[in-house]
Amino acid sequence: MAAEPLTELEAAIETVVNTFFTFAGREGRKGSLSVNEFKELVTQQLPHLLKDVGSLDEKMKSLDVNQDSELKFSEYWRLIGELAKEMRREKALEIRKK
């Protein structure tokens, strides 16, 4: 990384990546999230955005494209994309109301 300070967006991307690796590999393989690691990450880091998701087991299954009971970064990124799309929808509704 460059020695210059990161922009707000760059820092946000770095946070997304660092969060994944903070939780990945505590059990199982280092580059992926196990079911328990996924639940821990969601509970600690996404409690407001995923409070109405229902079953975390079902959410993980829907993200786990290759059905290996672990989420690789690309599968985790699908979750981030889904959450960003929902935030964008909510923001668009707020703007329309003004």
Q: For the segment 3-17, what is each residue's pLDDT rounded down to a tens digit? A: 899 999 999 999 999
Q: State pLDDT tens for residues 30-86.
A: 899 999 999 999 999 999 888 777 788 888 999 999 999 999 999 999 999 999 998
Global pTM reads 0.84
Residue 94: half-sphere exposure toward Cβ, Cα within 13 Å: 6
pLDDT score for 2: 61
pLDDT for the residue 1:
59
